[in-house]
Structure 1
Amino acid sequence: MGTTLLTRVKSKLFVHSRRRSRNLLEGEFASVFHGRSLDYDDLRDYVPGDEVRDIDWKATARHTSPLVRRYVATRKQNLLLVIDTGRGMAAAAGGGEPKKSVAIVAAGLVGYLAQRHGDLVGLVRGDATGTIAHPMRGNEAHLERLLRAIDTETTLDGEQSNLTTQLQWIVRNVRRRLLLLIVADDVELDPGLSDVLRRLHVQHEILWITVQDADPTSVDAARTTVDVADHYTLPTLVRTSARVKAAYAEAVAARVRATNTMLDAAGINHTRVGSSDDVLTAVFALLERQRRASG
């Protein structure tokens, strides 16, 4: 059997992150679920970003460097991956790889952090025609199956993306409080989504990652470029036109502003990534902002 998807995710984590950075990343993840019950675990060295209130001053006085108290959550912060698996996510991302590859790294990274803390991980995926829910479990074999489902169900001949369908399903069917990681296609959000997002934010902790589209006006002129939404081939003379390039850039900027405005209004922390190499930094920043917002 070849390399598993989760193994590839771990490789990215370990290659791009030193031990101290990984500890910070795991610490940020552990802190995002506000209102949790905590039990004292042990002491560890202070690292930038730790809460001053967690410093154990008596223990610090006996050592040459600050020590902080480490706690463990007595209530699980179960994670639900919410992934768009419509055909839009089979198209190219900004870095050139399929957008689903970026989604798999994001889902795998946060899922791995959750399982490291003893949390359960589930998946809600789908497209404009419907939603599929996978159960919550707490082992790596299950996380690998979830990543495989994202990979195999996201195809260029699949149905259109419409993440609103999946988010409405969660509003109707999920009652328990969860941490949601939403990985979305780079499309204009439905204006009617605002109310759904506000309702989700009241009940859940939410992290939102948008996977950026490749820029069709910057692709090698010798390559054929196809819009996966309608399978229309974009003529080379059109996409290399200076006027088209400018209009496309303006349209993307307007879409990004509209998305940011909607998510900000709903109180949801969000980011954009163009490649799987961007995911680690983006997730760390999201977790840090979530911790500060929840503090």
Structure 2
Amino acid sequence: MKDKANHFPEKIFVSLEELLKMERYASQFARTSGKKRVKSILGGRHASSLRGRGLDFEEVRGYVKGDDIRNIDWKVTARTQKTHTRVFTEEKEKPVLIVVDQSQSMFFGSESYMKSVIAAQSAALVALKTLKEGDRVGGIVFADQGVDIVLPKRNRTNILKFFERIVIRNRELASPQTPGIDQALQEVFKKIKNTVTHDYLVVVISDFVRYSPEVLRFSAQIAQHNDMLMIKVSDPLEWRLPNQTIVIGDQKHQVDYEGKQMADKIKLRQQKDYDDFAAAMSKHRVPIVQLNTVDPLEVQLKEVYKRLVR
């Protein structure tokens, strides 16, 4: 089926209408409370443990010096012969900044969807869910030809503005472009660092084929005072190259690609690059969610959600 107004095929390009339709799936990842909490954006608003009254009950634990004596649970204390206190949770606002990659490397898909489409849909779902939970949400859309920033606000008009920038950058991929240099992603992370302050959730959606030591350094700085979530979009063909001799390259550089031996080398290099990246993110407690271009986004996120809920 095609977008009749502009003749952009679905699964290859996105439309504003398609991004807004992601709202139907946002409600499927409803916020949970109490002991059944979600460790990511899929779980909704941020909950912090506080000692107090009139809040949502969380748990009973052993009394610690400095705890409010009004929260002592006398029944548990009497039964165990050890002082116990009740702990409550209070919901705090956590602004969300969604960073979505629409550069030339994302304009690829060997089976069902382009990487750029999965990234755009993911950004839309996270944005709509965040607004539904009542938090401020904004985003950064980066492409080879420029970067668009929509500061976080708590209204639907702001989300529409963000989605419009995604659609524009996405459809620019139809025109031949000069791929950006590695510093493009570095500049984006500089902008993230200058946009967020403290207690943000920063969600970065990309194929991460251009990460560098500078990107890792900025990520570490951002993660010091904010939560981060990396969503890596990849295509199966990137990990499963054909076993035949072909020539690949651009107008300036070409290389003979000789069957299985070269395929294995490329695959090992890609795996090492990803493992190094994942290890660096793990060091700063930044989780990575992997998505593919084969399965519908809502199906993939249901599986992710199951793993994140405890």
Taking structure 2 as the reference length, the TM-score comes to: 0.65
Structure 2 partner of 1:178: 200
Structure 2 partner of 1:165: 187
Q: Describe the superposition over 1:54-106 as per-residue Cα deviations: whole angstroms up to 9, x where unpaired.
A: 9xx9xxxxxxxxxxx99763x421111112222112222x7541111111222
Distance 2:291 2:146 in 1: 26
Instruction: In structure 2, list runs of 5 or more residues that go unmatched.
Output: 6-14, 62-72, 74-86
Verify: 1:6 aligned to 2:19, yes or no: yes
Q: Describe the superposition over 1:172-219 as per-residue Cα deviations: whole angstroms up to 9, x where unpaired.
A: 343343111111224152023232111101121111111113415757
| Aligned pair partner of 1:271 in 289, 303, 309 | 289
Residues 217/109 of structure 1: CA separation in 2 closer, same or farther (3 Å cut)? closer
Q: Which secondary structure does the structure 2 equivalent of 1:198 belong to?
A: helix
* Aligned ranges 1:30-41 → 2 under 5 Å: 30=44, 32=46, 34=48
Distance 2:118 2:31 in 1: 23
Cα pair 2:50 2:90 within 8 Å, conserved: no
| Aligned pair partner of 1:99 in 108, 111, 115 | 115
Cα pair 1:180 1:206 within 8 Å, conserved: yes
Q: CA deviation at 1:133?
A: 1.1
Structure 2 partner of 1:281: 302
Q: Which secondary structure does the structure 1 equivalent of 2:217 belong to?
A: helix
Cα pair 1:122 1:135 within 8 Å, conserved: yes
Q: Which has the larger share of helix?
A: 1
Distance 2:46 2:252 in 1: 43
* Structure 1 letter corresponding to 2:305: F
| Aligned pair partner of 1:260 in 278, 285, 304 | 278
Structure 1 partner of 2:83: none
Q: Which secondary structure does the structure 1 equivalent of 2:21 belong to?
A: helix
Q: Which secondary structure does the structure 2 equivalent of 1:4 belong to?
A: helix
Please provide the CA RMSD for this pair.
4.2
Verify: 1:211 aligned to 2:233, yes or no: yes
Q: CA deviation at 1:248?
A: 2.7
Distance 2:159 2:53 in 1: 27
Cα pair 1:126 1:166 within 8 Å, conserved: yes
- Tell me the percent identity: 14
Q: CA deviation at 1:122?
A: 0.6
Residues 257/83 of structure 1: CA separation in 2 closer, same or farther (3 Å cut)? same
Cα pair 1:163 1:184 within 8 Å, conserved: no
Q: Count residues with an aligned counterpart.
A: 256
Distance 2:52 2:155 in 1: 23
Verify: 1:85 aligned to 2:92, yes or no: no
Taking structure 1 as the reference length, the TM-score comes to: 0.68
Residues 96/176 of structure 1: CA separation in 2 closer, same or farther (3 Å cut)? same
Tell which structure's C-alpha radius of gyration is larger: 2
Distance 2:108 2:149 in 1: 23
Distance 2:52 2:44 in 1: 11
Cα pair 2:189 2:218 within 8 Å, conserved: yes
| Aligned pair partner of 1:111 in 103, 127, 146 | 127
Q: CA deviation at 1:140?
A: 3.5
Residues 70/115 of structure 1: CA separation in 2 closer, same or farther (3 Å cut)? farther
Structure 2 partner of 1:76: 93
Q: CA deviation at 1:232?
A: 8.7
Q: Could you say which structure has the greater relative contact order, defined with CA pairs below 8 angstroms and 6 or more residues apart?
A: 1
Verify: 1:202 aligned to 2:224, yes or no: yes
Cα pair 2:242 2:263 within 8 Å, conserved: no
* Structure 2 letter corresponding to 1:207: L
Distance 1:35 1:132 in 2: 36
* Aligned ranges 1:103-142 → 2 under 5 Å: 103-127=119-143, 130-142=146-158
Q: CA deviation at 1:286?
A: 7.8
